Amino acid sequence: MRLRHVTYSLLITLLFLAFAQTTFAQALDISSGGLPTITGAVGGSVTGSASVTNDLVVTINFGEVSPLNTNSIVKVVVPIALRSNQPYQVAVSMSGLNNANAQAVQASDVGFGLQNMQLLGGAGQICNQSTHLIRSPFNNDPAITATVGSNGRVSYQSSLGNLSGSTVIMSGPVLSKNNSIKRQQSDGYTFDAIFTLTPQFFASGISSATLIFTISAGPNVPC
Amino acid sequence: MPRLTTINLIFLTMLLMVSAVTCLGQSTTGTVSMSATVSKFVEINSGGSVTLTGNSGGGVTTDGVANSPLAVSINLGELGPSNTNSFVSASVPLKLRSNAAYVLSMSATVTSSGASSSRIGAADVGFGLGTVSRTGLGVNAGADTNATSGDPTLAANGSINGTTGRYEFTAVRSNLGAFSSSTTALSGPIIMNAVPRSNANGLTVPAMFAVKPQFFENGTTTISVTFTVTAP
């Protein structure tokens, strides 16, 4: 009799947990939006999942970015999927890239922009009263906006240098029509996070950084 | 508890756990890690056209082209007493670029058809690096160390040997005899700031060669010089 009570209590607890997860898990979600790609690299690579149901875990190796790389630019496109049943915002925070030598690779040397916000299949929510807003200055392809500055160094409309703490890069209305208990192939939106690095006479060394993309409840805009 | 009920409860519990795990697979965060490598880079190119003066006959066979690989060929012409100029001089502009401290080394071979000690030898070919220039957008300011004595035709860099009567380049590393093996001619700190390779600026320095026309043994002489820049 006592065992039965314990068992039922456990079952009720698990049912509650499952219900809670079912109710809230889909509210805000970020995942891989497809296979990332890299061009212009010498000895570089990018790894990530091609499946939109997998977590966003991407590793970029820009490879050689001294003048030994004679390509004009190294460009990496990372598709990212978003799902939500409420208005959302996406923020990015960065760690690393704190080279003391001003001639070494700095955060401002890595172009960073967002492009190609688009539906991820038929269950993505189309809203007519609000748009998905890419915050300034990130709405660009840094491979296109790259220019040589007055000091001779390449600069971009937006770069990792524009990140300060947790920086909101985009926001918008509800993304998903349904309220599925798990990620689906077609229930949200995808966009491309584009990273660029122009080979230059940087001071020698290895540089690294880690970006954390976070989706959270955003400004309460109507759909 | 009946056995069937127990089994059902176990299956139901497993199902709920799987469901919970599936839900936990969703995430509000994602990670992008990145890295990049900058290797030491140095290069030497032509800094422009060669200047040949004091020659009798001869000429620049293959001229230098700025920012192109250095491959210059010069015919110094007549080096016997029939050339009445005080020196036959050739100035070869070099352009160096680097993202690290650099060392410019040089090695030279001098081969003459003559058989006597009066043939042209390595010591008869004066050499020096002229004024180093670090100018232009993207070029890093820095102090370079010239290991040569500069323009070999300067009076301070050579004179007539009072015993033999032969003109000699006597200053430190002022003739090709000092470069029979790879020897440092110039060194310095990083040349370029963080600018693209398409930026054509760099460090320029003239490599100056000179021969004093004398009663050398007749014949032909071939001088071959190789410049190498490294980032130690």
State the residue for tokens 């056995």: B3
| pLDDT tens-digit series, residues A19-66 | 444 444 448 999 999 999 999 999 999 999 999 999 999 999 999 999
In this prediction, residue A178 carries a pLDDT of 81
**Residue B122: HSE in the Cβ half-sphere, 13 Å Cα cutoff:** 13
Chain-centroid distance of CA A161 in Å reads: 16
Minimal Cβ distance to B28: which of A15, A103, A216 = A216
By mean pLDDT, which of A115-124, A165-174, B118-127, B135-144 is the weakest? A115-124
In this prediction, residue B19 carries a pLDDT of 45
Minimal Cβ distance to B30: which of A22, A44, A213 = A213
In this prediction, residue B153 carries a pLDDT of 98
Per-position DSSP letters for A9-77, written without gaps between them: HHHHHHHHHHHHHHHHGGGEEEEE-S--EEES-BS-EEE--S-TTS--EEEEEEEE-STTS-SS-EEEE
Minimal Cβ distance to B29: which of A30, A61, A62 = A30
CA dihedral sign of residues A200, A206, A209, A210: positive
What is the pTM (predicted TM-score) of this model? 0.86
Percentage of chain A exceeding pLDDT 90: 81
In this prediction, residue A3 carries a pLDDT of 53
State the residue for tokens 């004679």: A70
Chain A residues in contact with B19 by the CB 8 A cut-off are 18, 21-22, 181
Chain A residues in contact with B26 by the CB 8 A cut-off are 25-26, 29, 31, 182-183
Q: Output the average pLDDT for chain B.
A: 92
Closest by CA to B57, choosing from B37, B17, B84, B23, is B84
Phi, psi of B175 (to 5 degrees): -145, 165
State the residue for tokens 């290069």: B43
Closest by CA to A96, choosing from A43, A60, A54, is A60
Say if residue B156 is exposed, middle or buried (CB neighbours under 10 Å; 0-12, 13-18, 19+). exposed
Please enumerate in sequence order all residues whose Cβ is within 8 A of that of B198, keeping only pairs 6 or more positions apart, or say none: A72
Chain A residues in contact with B97 by the CB 8 A cut-off are 67, 201
In this prediction, residue B3 carries a pLDDT of 53
Inspect the interface and report whether the beta carbons of B23 and A18 lie closer than 8 Å: yes
Q: Are B192 and A201 in contact (CB under 8 A)?
A: yes
Chain B residues in contact with A18 by the CB 8 A cut-off are 16, 19-20, 23
| pLDDT tens-digit series, residues A180-221 | 767 888 899 999 999 999 999 999 999 999 999 999 999 999
| pLDDT tens-digit series, residues B10-69 | 545 544 444 444 444 579 999 999 999 999 999 999 999 999 999 999 999 999 999 999
A 10 A CB-CB count for B63 gives: 16
SS3 B93: strand
